[in-house]
Amino acid sequence: MDEGENEGEKPAWWRRNEALREEMDLPAYEPSRFRDGVYTHEIVPKLEADHDATIRFVGFGDRSGDWEVRADGEALFSVGRRRDENANTVYEIDAGTFERRVEAGLDPDHSDHHDDSA
Q: Tens of pLDDT along 54-103?
A: 999 999 877 777 899 999 999 999 999 999 999 999 999 999 999 999 99
Q: Identify whether 88 is part of a domain.
A: yes
Extract the runs of DSSP E, i.e. beta strands, from 6-97.
Answer: 33-34, 55-59, 66-71, 74-83, 89-91
Q: Is residue 79 part of a domain?
A: yes
pTM flag (> 0.85)? no
Asked whether residue 23 is domain-assigned, the answer is no
pLDDT band at residue 11 under the 50/70/90 scheme: confident
Q: Which residues form the domain of 81? A: 33-106
Asked whether residue 6 is assigned to any structural domain, the reply reads: no
C-alpha triplet 49, 9, 88: angle, nearest 5°: 75
| Residue at 67 is within a domain | yes
What's the burial of 102, exposed, middle or buried (CB within 10 Å: 0-12/13-18/19+)? buried
